[in-house]
Amino acid sequence: MLFRAPGKRLYAITPDLADTDLLLEQCSAALNAGIGALQYRNKTASAELRRIQARDLNALCLDFGTPLIINDDWQLAKEIGAAGAHLGRDDGSLVAGRRAFDGVLGVSCYNQLDAALEAEQAGADYVAFGSFFKSDVKPDAIEAKLDLLEQAQQRLSIPVIAIGGITLANAARVRAAGADAVAVISGVFAQRDIGAAVMAFNKLLD
């Protein structure tokens, strides 16, 4: 199952980059080092740039045999043939997405176990909780407690992802608390050696 195999517990999320060539270069380094999945997220791009970058990243991910998950937009994921999509609070109905899209669907559940239980019943393939630590990407993110991960593992059968300020210094804590995988942006893509960062996470998480 996604995110539960050895060496597949790192869920890398792209930074906001307008430079598509640089984005592909950075993602290639992460993919080459071995990640469980790549999420394309770009909150600053136009709709057209998002489409271009998503298509290029999907081709790259297919070369590596790694799932590409599109943030916020299952319609775009379906259009380009991506492996899946990740839905947040304001990204439309999971039920509607599940009916129209047969790829992977993940859902942000923040600090709400009940929302995760509902998402699993509605057909989600994984859920994400967080933020567990302070995040430079989302400084005002909802705070989640580590014991939520243990509760989720007891109640859910689908993979549980931890997100929010996760680094090599704290990833072991969320893994020990019950996270099947961790979602990381800066901890991978803000590092001088992206491949080395990925390999360090993989060693730590397994």
- The set of catalytic residues is 41, 108, 138
Q: Which amino acid is located at 20 in the chain?
A: T
How many other C-beta atoms lie within 10 A of the C-beta of residue 192?
6
Q: Would the CA dihedral through 141, 146, 147, 150 be positive or negative?
A: positive
What are the backbone angles phi and psi of residue 68, rounded to the nearest 5°?
-105, 125
**Pairwise CA distance, residues 18 & 49, whole Å:** 8
Return the closest-CA partner of residue 187 out of 15, 1, 2, 62.
15
**Pairwise CA distance, residues 21 & 188, whole Å:** 17
How many other C-beta atoms lie within 10 A of the C-beta of residue 130?
27
How many other C-beta atoms lie within 10 A of the C-beta of residue 42?
18
Residue 94 CB partners (closer than 8 Å, separation 6+): 87, 105, 107, 119, 122, 123, 124
